[in-house]
Amino acid sequence: MLSMYLVKYAIDVHRQSYSLTAPQYGFYAMKSCLRISPTLPNSLRPSLTLRRSIATHTYSHHAKQLSILPTNVDTSSSTFRDNASKFNALMSQMEDLHRKIKKGGTEKAREKHLAKGKMLVRDRITALVDPGTPFLELSALAGHEMYPGEDVPAGGIVTGLGTVMGAQCMIVGNDSTVKGGTYYPITVKKHLRAQAIAEENRLPCIYLVDSGGANLPHQADVFPDRDHFGRIFYNQARMSAARIPQISVIMGPCTAGGAYVPAMSDESIIVENQGTIFLAGPPLVKAATGEVVTAEELGGGRMHSEVSGVTDYLAVDDAHALVLARRCIQNLGVAVRGEGIEGTGREKREAKEPLYDAEELGGIVGTSLRQQIPAREIIARIVDGSEFSEFKKEYGETLVTGEDDPIFLRTPVSNLTWV
């Protein structure tokens, strides 16, 4: 008993010295009792820890087993087999329908399209996205049996998500084999849906334009309302202002309303002797003014790249245009979340020396003020790897503008202007 009193006295002093709370005091007292009185009977010895025997131990996989749903399906029953047979038949029917829709327009329209040296819309998308990456097509069955007497596969437009230079992009491609790529009411709705997804997820938009504008027999349901044709261009302006890139590749005629898509884009690429941009074609010009003009003279690649400045890059064919589109996405670099695209998947690389000797700059520039300075020769000896994405090369030839790889720049400015 004396030892118990000594323990109590020692704990009281210790508690006052260190301002122990009641629970702390009790725990400390129990530990002290055990330490000072090891012969204390087990009945009086406090239990500081709870020990469990192996019989009361529960394993984590026991709870998991309780969560697994049992099955009572009899795969050999007639009901199961009948359901499976009908479901597989329906799936086969849907697969056949999707294969038919992927062909696009009629065989005659496809042959005429290919005879012009143009790629089919899905072949264009395959060439645009990164090799080995999937393309998630949206609304493939849009327009199916919607218009009596008219076949409008996929609504005349292909939309979906694809990876371009490591960046997730929304791709919108007109199928000119379907009624000349004109816009039906369902085409407008599908295009707007793709833009809504792109805006909500801040995805760069790439438009593969090959369209004759609105489908005139259905113009009453295409033009007038808030969410009709004009909303496409409104969305482009809003997304561009929100720093969501808008890139157009003009791979065919962009007539009437279709002309606004490339004009409202941040960067535009046009195929020479193939892509055109105008509100009214040569027949309407002749009817209105009597002037005879070709489509190329009125709004072709050379005219818009050299004279009007509507387009920024001039391509020789579809394949070249798609390479330029991929480079445009690459040049976006990696932007801050919430201020642009999330990133292009490009890894940080070591700086590279120019391919040409910088010591040659003295011989190129010289000291004569009357001598013209070849800006491109200077740039080739300054930028990393002599790589330079020239912007509007054909427009305003006295000024060279373009972009070096943003990864290699030592300054926050990514656009280099040379006079």
Q: Are residues 162 and 120 in the same domain?
A: yes
The per-residue pLDDT for 59 is 74
Q: CA angle, corner 232, sides to 230 and 238, nearest 5?
A: 110
264: alpha, beta or left? (left if phi > 0; alpha if psi -120 to 50): alpha
**Beta carbons of 130 and 164 less than 8 angstroms apart:** yes
Asked whether residue 91 is assigned to any structural domain, the reply reads no
Asked whether residue 167 is assigned to any structural domain, the reply reads yes
User: For residue 71, what are the CA distances in angstroms to 64, 76, 87, 242?
Assistant: 16, 14, 20, 51
The one-character DSSP state at 340 is B
Asked whether residue 302 is assigned to any structural domain, the reply reads yes
Asked whether residue 62 is assigned to any structural domain, the reply reads no
Asked whether residue 324 is assigned to any structural domain, the reply reads yes
Domain of 33 in residue numbering reads as: 2-48
Asked whether residue 181 is assigned to any structural domain, the reply reads yes
Check which CATH number belongs to the domain holding 161 and give it: 3.90.226.10
User: For residue 204, what are the CA distances in angstroms to 116, 156, 192, 266?
Assistant: 29, 22, 15, 11
**Beta carbons of 181 and 217 less than 8 angstroms apart:** no
Tens digit of each residue's pLDDT, the chain (419 residues): 545 544 454 455 444 544 545 555 454 555 554 454 555 555 555 554 556 666 667 777 777 778 888 899 999 999 999 999 999 999 999 999 999 999 999 999 999 999 999 999 999 999 999 999 999 999 999 999 999 999 999 999 999 999 999 999 999 999 999 999 999 999 999 999 999 999 999 999 999 999 988 998 998 889 888 888 899 999 999 999 999 999 999 999 998 888 999 999 999 999 999 999 998 889 999 999 999 999 999 999 999 999 999 999 999 999 999 999 999 998 886 443 334 444 444 455 678 899 999 999 999 998 888 888 899 999 999 999 998 999 999 999 889 999 876 443 333 333 344 44
Q: How far apart are CA 193 and CA 162, in angstroms?
A: 16
Token pair listed for 274: 């193939």
Q: Are residues 119 and 225 in the same domain?
A: yes
* 217 sits in which H/E element: none
Asked whether residue 379 is assigned to any structural domain, the reply reads yes
User: For residue 260, what are the CA distances in angstroms to 108, 133, 158?
Assistant: 29, 31, 19
Q: Per the structure, how many domains does the chain have?
A: 3
Q: Are residues 294 and 238 in the same domain?
A: yes
Q: Are residues 12 and 106 in the same domain?
A: no
Pairing verdict, β 389-391 and 276-278: unpaired
Q: Are residues 40 and 181 in the same domain?
A: no
Q: Are residues 34 and 118 in the same domain?
A: no
Q: Are residues 242 and 389 in the same domain?
A: no
Q: How far apart are CA 111 and CA 124, in angstroms?
A: 16
The per-residue pLDDT for 411 is 32
Q: Are residues 364 and 276 in the same domain?
A: no
The per-residue pLDDT for 410 is 35
Q: Are residues 326 and 365 in the same domain?
A: no
Q: Are residues 287 and 367 in the same domain?
A: no
Q: Are residues 220 and 296 in the same domain?
A: yes
Asked whether residue 340 is assigned to any structural domain, the reply reads no
Q: Are residues 312 and 365 in the same domain?
A: no
The per-residue pLDDT for 58 is 72
DSSP states along 2-53: HHHHHHHHHHHHHHHHHT--HHHHHHHHHHHHHHH-TT--TTTS---S----
